[in-house]
Amino acid sequence: MRENIITLSDGRKLSYAEYGQRDGEVVFEFHGTPGSRYQVDATRLESIAKEGPVPLRIIVPERPGYGLSDPKAGRTLADWCQDIEALSNELAVERFSIVGISGGGPFALACASRMPTRVRKIAVICGLGPIDVLGQEGLSNEERTFFQGPEFTRMYITQLANKLNADPDWFTSYYLSNLPELDRELISDDLIPVFKPYVIEAVRQEEGMVHDFIIFGQPWNIPLQKIRVPVAFWHSEADHSVPISHAEYLASLIPHAELHRIQNYDHTGSVLAAQPELYDFLTTD
């Protein structure tokens, strides 16, 4: 993994990590909520690509207010598209695919709509749908907690961040031990060391998570019916964090979108279980 920070035109810092080969097919991965440049799924996809016929260059940028990326007050889905355009220009990358994980899904679809000539393909895994349309039914209790308003969300996240920062080792052990057994079986030994830095960077700041949930609670203003970039969804029937109805709704509106139904795995396991098919999707015409 390689890490770097660029300075955007407004003076903000944007942090990112790169996985895979520098000369590989470029894929931007948008982390979940919370998330960071340290990603278990990117590590898994990197391993798959090493064994495959097509190398990948996987770039994981941290949204404003996560990890080492500066926050941006009042940011929107459209703002993130501008940040990605700036980052891709800095890296001299003209065409690329995007993978949106969980809370990264809306940001991926926004880029599909706003950058159709630069985005090659879009993959959304366990992605969140528009809450103003679908409501909160089926979301986990924890997810619903974050939709009680910015101030409540900030207070809750502050408490969470303090707890995790005080003992990230404890949280890593707690998180892994409380995964459903089927999900836990997909966590190979090489993935476990990624969890601790992921936790530390995901809650280094509060602003990233606070503003993500503000964005999620508002209308997306994305003309989904007009997206022409190839889009594929992976979602589990057994996802207890984000129900599969979110993927079903989005896939029904986006022309020619694919929906791959995963069985039995919960949220974390679904993301990892989808990686082999994701690799095939990203590397075939």
pLDDT digits (tens, 9 = 90+) for 200-235: 899 899 899 989 999 999 999 999 999 999 999 999
Yes or no: say if 261 and 34 are a contact pair by the CB < 8 Å rule: no
DSSP secondary structure letters along 19-71: EE-TTSEEEEEE--SS--S--HHHHHHHHHHHHSSS-EEEEEEPPTTSTTSPP
Q: Among 34-43, 54-63, 144-153, 273-282, which stretch is predicted with the lowest mean pLDDT?
A: 144-153
Among the listed residues 30, 33, 38, 48, the one whose alpha carbon sits nearest the alpha carbon of residue 273: 48
pLDDT digits (tens, 9 = 90+) for 23-77: 999 999 999 999 999 999 999 999 999 999 999 999 999 999 999 999 999 999 9
List the structure tokens of 135: 């409501």
Query: For residue 260, is pLDDT > 80?
Result: yes
List the structure tokens of 102: 């969980």
Yes or no: say if 119 and 112 are a contact pair by the CB < 8 Å rule: yes
Report the alpha-carbon angle 41-43-45, nearest 5: 70
Query: For residue 157, is pLDDT > 90?
Result: no
Among the listed residues 81, 36, 106, 41, the one whose alpha carbon sits nearest the alpha carbon of residue 268: 41
Query: For residue 149, is pLDDT > 80?
Result: no
Q: At what angle do helices 192-202 and 40-51 cross, to 10 degrees?
A: 140
CA 213 to chain centre: 14
List the structure tokens of 242: 């984000």
CA 81 to chain centre: 14
Residue 117: exposure state from Cβ atoms within 10 A (0-12, 13-18, ≥19): exposed
At 152, is the pLDDT very low, low, confident or very high (cuts 50, 70, 90)?
A: confident
List the structure tokens of 189: 């030994």
Q: Are strands 25-30 and 13-20 parallel, antiparallel or unpaired?
A: unpaired
Alpha carbon distance 171, 33 (integer Å): 16
